[in-house]
Amino acid sequence: MELVRSAPDVTTLADAIPIPDLGFVPVNAFLLRAEQPVLVDAGLTASSPEFLAKLSSLLDPADLRWIYLTHPDRDHTGSIRSLLDLAPRARLVTTFMGMGILSLEEPIPPERVFLLNPGQTLDVGDRQLTCFRPPLYDSPATTGFYDSLTGTCFSSDCFGAPVASADLAHADDIAAVPPSELVAGQRLWATVDSPWVTGVDRTAFRASLEPLRRLAPPVILSSHLPAAHNATTRLLEMLEQAPEATPYVGPDQAALEAMLAAMEPRST
Ligand SMILES: [Fe+2]
Ligand SMILES: [Fe+2]
């Protein structure tokens, strides 16, 4: 895991998972240094000790005021329970659906939660965070948000892409990824993470991108991509093509057995 300065007021806790058949999927959480500090997502479970140590090197977790959970998938919730203990003043920003899904494991005290729906705003002192539903998502609880002070957009899983190495996953900008690899990776990710995209009405999907196009955020911070500075037009062009992507079909049992056989040490 690396700490990456993605904007003057945002530090990314940049992790990655190697996935056979895909590559390295970046897994990002973000510390937004608003007047009331906001942590966006809570990393991987396996990385939790390192995640908490890295976060503590940036601020005392007790000073966190908000933990914005873009959705309760396991790659976003790794340290969430620890953080609720370490940050007693922080409230968990999620949706009713998000609270319900998290509470299947262990109830979240309702007084620790702040429910925010697309279109609503959260005041964090020096700015407002406006909640929106990203064009691609893999959970009914997913939201992202725009920062009213800087325009930065936090897009959750949308715009993600597996990359060729852990170093690229930790890059400070998508410019580090060769453009053709970036587009191919994003198209692949779109159908892995949001397989429904290949079945949508093209016109309706294109229309769903308009709010982002109009806002033209100068920085897009995806959970699964290095930071994208001044690249919104490019990213939206890619997204517009996502319904045309080849649907992803994962390895089947025979392919898994072949992979495992290839990994077995040869007997001499
Ligand atoms: Fe997800
Ligand atoms: Fe994710």
90, two tokens: 């922080």
Closest CA to 188 of 26, 75, 21: 21
Q: Mean pLDDT over all residues of the chain?
A: 96
Question: What is the rounded distance in angstroms from the CA atom of residue 94 to the CA atom of residue 70?
Answer: 7
Ligand 2 centroid to Cα of residue 266, in Å, is: 36
Q: Which long-range contacts (CB under 8 A, 24 or more apart) does 48-54 make?
A: 48/78, 48/79, 48/82, 50/1, 51/1, 51/13, 51/15, 51/78, 51/79, 52/79, 52/82, 52/83, 52/86, 54/1, 54/3, 54/13
Q: Ligand 1 centroid vs 268 CA: distance in angstroms?
A: 44
Does residue 137 contact residue 208 with C-beta atoms inside 8 Å?
no
CA of 17, nearest ligand number: 2
Which amino acid, 50?
A: E
State in Å: Cα 233 to ligand 2 middle: 23
Domain boundaries, the chain: 2-253
Q: What pLDDT digit, counting tens, does each position of 218-268 carry? A: 999 999 999 999 999 999 999 999 999 999 999 999 999 998 898 887 655
Dihedral of alpha carbons 238, 243, 244, 246, sign: positive
- Tens-binned pLDDT, residue by residue, of the chain (268 aa): 999 999 999 999 999 999 988 899 999 999 999 999 999 999 999 999 999 999 999 999 999 999 999 999 999 999 999 999 999 999 999 999 999 999 999 999 999 999 999 999 999 999 999 999 999 999 999 999 999 999 999 999 999 999 999 999 999 999 999 999 999 999 999 999 999 999 999 999 999 999 999 999 999 999 999 999 999 999 999 999 999 999 999 999 999 999 889 888 765 5
Q: Across-strand partners of 68?
A: 40, 93
Quick one: which of 39, 77, 46 has its CA closest to 60?
Answer: 39
What pairing do the DSSP bridges indicate for beta strands 38-40 and 66-68?
parallel
Closest alpha carbon to 161 in 248, 72, 223, 71: 223
The alpha carbon of 123 and the centre of ligand 2 are apart by a number of angstroms equal to 25
For the chain, first and last CA: distance in Å? 38
What residue has token string 């093509």?
241
CATH code for residues 2-253? 3.60.15.10
Amino acid at the residue 245? A
Query: How many Å lie between the centroid of ligand 1 and the Cα of residue 265?
Result: 35
Neighbours of ion ligand 2 (CB under 5 A): 73, 75, 157, 223
